[in-house]
Amino acid sequence: MTRYLRIDQLDFAGKRVLVRADLNVPMELGRVSDDFRIRKALPAIELLSAGGAESVLVCSHLGRPKDREPELGLAPVSVRMAELLAGEVVQLPGVVGDEVEAAARDLAPGAIALLENTRFESGETKNDPLLADALARLADVFVEDAFGSVHRAHASTVGVAERLRSAAGPLLISEIEGLGRFLGDPDRPYVVVLGGAKVSDKLGVIKHLLPKVDSMLIGGAMCFTLLAAAGAEVGDSRLEPEMIDEVGKLLTGPDGDKLVLPSDIVAASAFEESAEAVVTAANSIPRGRIGLDIGPGTSARFAGVIKDAASLFWNGPMGVFEWERFRHGTEAVAEAVAGCAGWTAVGGGDSVAALRILGLEDSVSHLSTGGGAGLELLEGRDLPGVAVLERWVDGP
């Protein structure tokens, strides 16, 4: 595993510190509608501020802007952050440039400031060296604390860390250590629960983890490609036809019996929140019906496997979680995970949201802020934003 400096090993007193946080939060009508990621970012900021940093500059992306889209600006985030910190957060006028550099230099001692959306700069996602240079000019040292973004080699995750002495923040450390418990030889039974829309998005983690787990429970729309590969009739449910042969090899392979597919499905007459729905066998969904949730029998069976797990990881909803009528499978899994006595970690926005809606977020061992990053970590892949930190362990 990558070695890195921890934030408490970084000499930041009296220095300007740039923090890469994950403030990619949902917005409604110009306000933050879910501040989970902002709250998770605060410990690093508070630690630096209390530890004597001259100033703390925070940067993050928000959404996927194609240009400088005002509705994806970070001003509402700075407002909410200031409310949570009970103090001022200065909103800087951009990401880089002369005006931003001047504003950063003129900050009052101990000030906390937020840069604008890093993806407003076209060089961010390309790890443009000029943008990385400009970001590095804003500070003396760098803290990487955006676990949800470290699987991307961007200017604000990798480029700046190549230029400034860098350390991992408390959230990043917590994520690596929490999810790291599934690497090597986790306690058994080891159970993974996967859902979501596309099996292609999770094929890598399925292939990597299937030989290591005791059971892998599959729900969400991704289950229909696996069911089709097993010869089931899936009606009009969402399919990835190009993946059927590939996942069929997993089902017939040496670990295929570890894949646990739904036995019943809640199938609707249309992809609509108010559509008429029935419970049907998962292997014979009628034409004209679309599977939108796992059925009650599957929910109970999944819950039984989850209850006995010693190590459990869950990523992805079991159905169209956004619609209450098709949320029951996800809620059943959430309640089972919360009741599991083993080490439990949950990642992915909808999975975390389910726990929070049910008031169960404090009932799991580790609640992850990163969906894609968590999957890549468990897949055994290097995370560029973490790997780059190793250069400073024995360096200047």
| 132-144 pLDDT tens trace | 999 999 999 999 9
Question: Cβ distance 355 to 367 under 8 Å?
Answer: yes
Q: What helix, strand, coil percent values describe the chain, rounded to 5?
A: 40, 20, 40
Number of helices followed by number of strands (H, E) in the chain: 13, 19
pLDDT over 90 at 70, yes or no? no
φ/ψ (deg, to 5) at 270? -160, 165
Nearest in space to 272 (alpha carbons), one of 218, 322, 329: 322
Give pLDDT tens digits for 269-301: 999 999 999 999 999 999 999 999 999 999 999
* Band of pLDDT at residue 353, cut at 50, 70 and 90: confident
| 8 Å CB contact between 139 and 115 | no
The predicted pLDDT at position 262 comes to 98
Q: What is the average per-residue pLDDT within 37-44?
A: 96
- Three-class DSSP category at 27: strand
In angstroms, rounded to a whole number, what is the distance separating the alpha carbons of residues 165 and 162?
A: 8
Using CA atoms, how far residue 337 sits from 21, 192, 311, in Å, is 28, 11, 10
Closest by Cα among 189, 183, 234, 171 to 369: 171
- E strands along 253-385, which residues? 259-260, 264-268, 277-281, 284-285, 290-294, 311-315, 343-347, 366-367
Q: How far is CA 73 from CA 77, 89, 97, 150, 340, in A?
A: 8, 15, 17, 21, 40
As a whole-number percent, the residues of the chain with pLDDT over 90 amount to: 90
**Does 1 score more than 70 pLDDT?**
no
Q: What is the pTM of this model?
A: 0.91
Catalytic residues: 37, 198, 349, 372
Cα–Cα dist 379/182, whole Å: 10
pLDDT category at 396 given cuts 50, 70, 90 is low
Paired strand residues for 266: 279, 293
Residue 281 tokens read as 């066998």
- Arithmetic mean of pLDDT over the chain: 95
Task: Name the pairing type of β-strands 190-194 and 215-218.
Answer: parallel
Q: What is the DSSP letter of 318?
A: S
Nearby residues of 8 by Cβ (< 8 Å), 6 or more positions away:
none
**If you average pLDDT over residues 201-207, what whole number do you get?**
93
Q: What's the mean pLDDT in 326-351?
A: 94
Per-residue model confidence (pLDDT) at position 370: 87
The kind and range of the H/E element at 28 are strand 27-28
- Reported as a single tens digit per residue, the pLDDT across 6-16 is 999 999 999 99
- Residue 48 burial (CB < 10 Å; 0-12/13-18/19+)? buried
Q: Is the pLDDT of residue 395 over 80?
A: no
pLDDT band for 302, please (50, 70, 90 cuts). very high
Identify the band that residue 67 occupies on the pLDDT scale cut at 50, 70 and 90.
confident
The three-point CA angle 161-164-170 to 5° equals 60
Give me the mean pLDDT over the 158-171 stretch: 98
pLDDT of residue 143: 98
User: In Å, how far are 168, 180, 210, 301 from 380, measured between CA atoms?
Assistant: 19, 10, 13, 29
User: What is the reported pLDDT for 97?
Assistant: 95
